[in-house]
Structures are given as C-alpha cells and as structure tokens.
Amino acid sequence: MHLFCGLRVSKWFDKISLNSLKSAALELSEQQRGLDLWIDLKSMRAAAFALHVPNAATPPTAPMPSAEDQAKSALLDAHISSMAYFELYKFMSLLVQQNSNNASEILASIDIKLQTSKAKHHSFLIHHNNFTASSLTVIKGGKDGG
C-alpha cells in the first residue's frame, strides 16, 4: 500500500501519505454508513493489480558480430569468390586450348564444370539471397547529412 500511496501522475494526482488516505477512507457520508471503506479501498486496489498483465518480453535478438568478425567473414567470402572465379577461369583457358570441334562435347564439359562449381561454392556465395529489395532502404548519412 505504501507504493500505491507514492504514485504520482502529473495533472491528475499526487502522492499521498498512508495516514491521509486511511483518514479519507474512514470519513463516511450518509449513504456510506456501515461500510468499511478502508477494506473496500484495499480490495479495489488488489483487483486493479490483478487485472494488470505485464507485456510479454520480446525475445532477445542475437548480438551483432564484432567489426573484427565481420571483417574476417568478408575476407573469407572474398577469398572463396576469388577461388571460384580462378577455377572457372582456368577451366575456360584449358577449354580454349583444346582442339575439339565437337560443340556438344564442349557444352557438356561446360555444363559439368558449372554444376561442379555451383555444388562446391553455392553455400558460401548465397548471401545476396538473404536480403530482399523490400527490406533494404536508402538512408541519409554522412557529415553533411545527405
């Protein structure tokens, strides 16, 4: 009850001492004779607190990786991308050096190499699929605010 008496809402009500509240509750008007207003006030307070349902806490979000971890991840992605590029470049160089006139054989060889490359590197190079255009927005920034 002491906490209840200490409540203050600007322009509505101020805190009150427990004795002042009890005295006001014990002053009876003609219609209230025979009622114990102090007990009534305490029961109304208990009912009001029982109605209060605290908001469900939002689930904690995973913390952002540190700048150092993000830089390491970016360097790893860049390294894997360059490995995939040079692997395909080397394959194309060898393909050009072949003296094959069979187009279907060349196409089959290219198709196999593309499938192999995709299987090897796809899981590392799919970060662009994590973001949809609707979730990305342009923000203002910089020293001049633009």
Range of the domain at 11: 2-51
The three state secondary structure string of the chain is CHHHHCCCECCCECCCCHHHHHHHHHCCCCCCCCCCHHHHHHHHHHHHHHHCCCCCCCCCCCCCCCHHHHHHHHHHHHHHHHHHHHHHHHHHHHHHHCCCCCHHHHHHHHHHHHHHHHHHHCCCCCHHHHCCHHHCCCCCCCCCCC
pLDDT in tens, the chain (146 residues): 778 778 888 877 778 888 877 777 666 555 565 567 777 777 777 777 777 666 667 777 778 889 999 999 889 888 988 999 999 999 999 988 887 788 888 889 999 999 998 888 777 666 555 556 666 677 777 676 54
Q: Is residue 15 part of a domain?
A: yes
Q: What pLDDT, on the 0 to 100 scale, is given for residue 71?
A: 92
Residue 146 lies in a domain: no
**Whether residues 82 and 46 fall in one domain:** no
Q: Are residues 44 and 93 in the same domain?
A: no
Number of folded domains in the chain? 2
**Closest-CA residue to 1 (of 17, 23, 25):** 17
Percent above pLDDT 90 for the chain: 14
Identify the pLDDT of residue 8: 81
Residues 22, 72, single domain; the answer is: no
pLDDT in tens, 56-93: 677 777 788 899 999 998 898 889 889 999 999 999 99
